[in-house]
Structure 1
Amino acid sequence: MDTDWLTLLSAAALAFSVMNYVILDGTDLGVGMLMGVTACSRERRAMAVTILPVWDANETWLVLGGGGLLALFPLAYAILLPALYVPFIVMFLALIARAVALEFRDHASSERRKRAIDRVLTGASLLTGFVQGMVLGTLVQGVAHHNGQYSGDGREWLSAFALFCGGVLVLGYLWLGACWLYWRTMDQLQQRSARQARVLALIVVLSLLALVAWTATLHPQYAQRLLDVRLWLPAGLLLGVSLLVFARGFRSRRDFLPLFAALGVFVLAFAAMLVALFPYIIPPGLTLSAAASSPNSQVFMLIGFAVLVPLTLAYNTFGFKVFSGKVRVAGQG
């Protein structure tokens, strides 16, 4: 617990970047997955239009998170990268495939080719979300290391816990995507998105509770933290409030409420994970202080974060504002 304020600030900056990526690009990935279960080509077109103006800006947070980990906590980066070479390569290839599919789907010369491109988009979005969940699961369960060097066999990400985390994150992204479509679309597509969001809400919450219970069995510290009344009582209350807002949002004129409530659940789950992990950045033994770079490097990077984070937030906000409003499916209404 000897982590100083500079290291804590560095960890907070890194966590903020990762959380922003998860809730922003996760929503886009959810929409991409839902396109795979949408038969109507005009509805798939409307779904793609809702994320086309914003998806690339959302991925900026992934760059900040990855670069921040390397510069702020190089020892953690040196241990995690060899442990997760294969998942990271798969994830980046899937992100490239998604980008190509999104940008070029409208240039397809036939409906058949466009449908094939949409399948690529769906598969790439699903694979990206699943791999990201596996990476988080691998981190939580712990990565073998000795004297600052990775000492595992490279297959930790294939554990049952990591695979379960991948599935839970996919379900969560689907939930965010359905809530986003309820906010941004109209008529039949909006109504179907509402039904999907309600069903997914129940599945995601139950999956998260199962994940918390499983996580508590991995390490004694996790059980101590997660079962502490000072954590689960306020977390339970916040979860209840979020779900209440989510349910009532469908009866309100403010179509953004279900999405914001779902994002609140995501933030709550992410915060609980950080509380369980602290002060470790890589369980079971690498603390934030031990993994941190020199104070001068941290100060330099934090100054960069202080400049880039507000600019990125402003850009994201501007993009949402410019392209706000409902998207109508062609031929409906």
Structure 2
Amino acid sequence: MFGFGNEYEGLAFWLPLIWAGLIAVAVAMYVIVDGFDLGVGILFKAARSENWRDRMMFSVAPIWDGNETWLILGGGGLFAVFHVAYAVLMPALYVPIILMLIALIFRGVAFEFRFKSERSKFLWDNAFFFGSLLATFFQGMVLGAFVQGFANDGRQFTGGTFDFLTPFSVVTGISLICGYGLLGSTWCVMKTTGELEIWARRMAVRFLIATIIAMGVVSLWVPFLGRQIETRWFSWPNIAFLAPIPLITVYTAYRLFRDLEVGRHYRPFFLAIALFLLGYLGLGVSLFPFNVPPNLTIWDTANTVNSQLFALVGFAIVLPITFAYTAYAYYVFRGKVAEEIQGGGYGYH
């Protein structure tokens, strides 16, 4: 009963579950912390003055590059532990992932050069805006393609280069722009003052409406992508257990709208995060335990038990350090950005 073989059978079941949870946490952290960062970029061109744009950038300058650490953790975990999933997903998503990375590179370069430039600042403003917009759109397309699933033979991708490009993935790309815009605008509400804060509050209401519409469209569309998703949500008694998720989502959106109306500073941002996490939970309910929809589960794609244990040791060291660094950075740079930046215009950068 307690022999070596049974122990490994237990580990072979539980380790992929643990790893799926860890990678899900890393991806969720990336979506939250880099989501508002990209959202600030999406808002950038609509800002009325250079002072507004400076203050928006200063609000994320101390923490923006550290935010992307979570993307590396999630991707590294997938590569280390779910090698079959990595072998299927990467060829299927080469195009949107490469385009996303190019957009992030342009955005990062623009972020650094804008602070040093005078005459060509408008060029870097455009690069920052379009880099943020396109990176978000392609992330949304990756999400849409993932939900739809991938043609595979159990070991490798067997579909075409542009299989990811569908009406659904385009809709999820646009939806993520709305969602990140909501995160970015509520971040600006929390971090800025004066007319910029008032403007960000108005933008947050608009993005909230757009996000709710987008979530509704995607939520109604997803059950039609696969019989197993429809059964998961609408069969009895599942529907009774899962009904609170959309109900809580609606209530969260209502509270967010009310908080924006009455002038709260901090809670709108955290309610926007809650809205994202509820959507993330809904996707998890729809797809679990498949990490290569529609047919490969986390157990089908997992590496050997020894490999998972070895990687888990490293992850157990890196994850708390990353959490601690993230928390410390946000604590140090808490509070609102001053309306007039001192120190020659370089602010917090």
- 1:322 lines up with 2:332 in the alignment: yes
Instruction: Give the structure 1 partner of residue 300 of structure 2.
Output: 290
Q: Which amino acid aligns with 1:234?
A: P
- 1:267 lines up with 2:277 in the alignment: yes
Structure 1 residue 253: Cα displacement: 7.2
Q: TM-score, normalised by structure 1?
A: 0.95
Distance 1:158 1:279 in 2: 24
Tell me which of 213, 220, 228 is aligned to 1:206: 213
Instruction: Give the structure 2 partner of residue 82 of structure 1.
Output: 91
Instruction: Give the structure 1 partner of residue 191 of structure 2.
Output: 184
Tell me which of 153, 172, 181 is aligned to 2:179: 172
Distance 2:241 2:111 in 1: 41
Distance 1:301 1:249 in 2: 43
Q: Which amino acid aligns with 1:173?
A: Y
1:156-197 Cα shifts (integer Å, max 9, x gaps): 221111111111011100010000000000000000111111
Structure 1 residue 305: Cα displacement: 1.9
Identity in percent: 38
Instruction: Give the structure 2 partner of residue 308 of structure 1.
Output: 318
Instruction: Give the structure 1 partner of residue 100 of structure 2.
Output: 91
Please list every run of at least 4 consecutive aligned residues from structure 1 whose deviation after the TM superposition is greater than 6 angstroms: none
Tell me which of 22, 32, 45 is aligned to 1:36: 45
Structure 1 residue 308: Cα displacement: 1.3
Tell me which of 140, 148, 156 is aligned to 1:133: 140
Distance 1:187 1:317 in 2: 27
Structure 1 residue 248: Cα displacement: 3.7
Size of the alignment, in residue pairs? 328
Distance 2:133 2:261 in 1: 30
Q: Describe the SS at the equivalent of 1:123.
A: helix
Distance 1:244 1:114 in 2: 39
1:76-124 Cα shifts (integer Å, max 9, x gaps): 00011111111111111111111111112111032xx111101100000
Distance 1:27 1:231 in 2: 31
For the 8 Å contact 1:186–1:326, the answer to whether it is kept is: yes
Structure 1 residue 263: Cα displacement: 0.5
For the 8 Å contact 1:246–1:261, the answer to whether it is kept is: yes
For the 8 Å contact 1:225–1:231, the answer to whether it is kept is: no
Structure 1 residue 252: Cα displacement: 6.4
Q: Describe the SS at the equivalent of 1:217.
A: helix
For the 8 Å contact 1:226–1:272, the answer to whether it is kept is: no
For the 8 Å contact 1:157–1:163, the answer to whether it is kept is: no
Q: Which amino acid aligns with 1:140?
A: V
Distance 1:146 1:157 in 2: 17
Structure 1 residue 310: Cα displacement: 1.2
- 1:13 lines up with 2:27 in the alignment: no
Instruction: Give the structure 1 partner of residue 109 of structure 2.
Output: 100
Change (3 A) 1:96 1:231: farther
- Cα RMSD between the aligned structures? 1.6
5+ residue gaps, structure 1: none
Instruction: Give the structure 1 partner of residue 286 of structure 2.
Output: 276
Q: Describe the SS at the equivalent of 2:46.
A: coil
Distance 1:247 1:18 in 2: 26
Instruction: Give the structure 1 partner of residue 253 of structure 2.
Output: 243
Distance 1:46 1:70 in 2: 38
Aligned positions of 1:220-239 closer than 5 A: 220-227=227-234, 228-239=238-249
Q: Which amino acid aligns with 1:45?
A: D
Distance 2:241 2:230 in 1: 11
Distance 2:246 2:296 in 1: 30
Structure 1 residue 8: Cα displacement: 0.5
Distance 1:255 1:302 in 2: 39
Q: Describe the SS at the equivalent of 2:214.
A: helix
Distance 2:21 2:206 in 1: 33
Distance 2:209 2:242 in 1: 19
For the 8 Å contact 1:28–1:55, the answer to whether it is kept is: yes
Distance 1:10 1:193 in 2: 38
- 1:70 lines up with 2:73 in the alignment: no
Distance 1:115 1:325 in 2: 28
- 1:161 lines up with 2:168 in the alignment: yes
Instruction: Give the structure 1 partner of residue 152 of structure 2.
Output: 145
Aligned positions of 1:117-132 closer than 5 A: 117-132=124-139
Change (3 A) 1:162 1:231: farther
Q: Describe the SS at the equivalent of 1:146.
A: coil
Q: Describe the SS at the equivalent of 1:158.
A: coil
Q: Describe the SS at the equivalent of 2:225.
A: coil
Higher mean displacement: 223-232 or 29-38: 223-232
Instruction: Give the structure 1 partner of residue 223 of structure 2.
Output: 216
Distance 1:199 1:254 in 2: 17
Distance 1:142 1:84 in 2: 11
Q: Which amino acid aligns with 1:175?
A: L
Q: TM-score, normalised by structure 2?
A: 0.90
Structure 1 residue 241: Cα displacement: 3.5
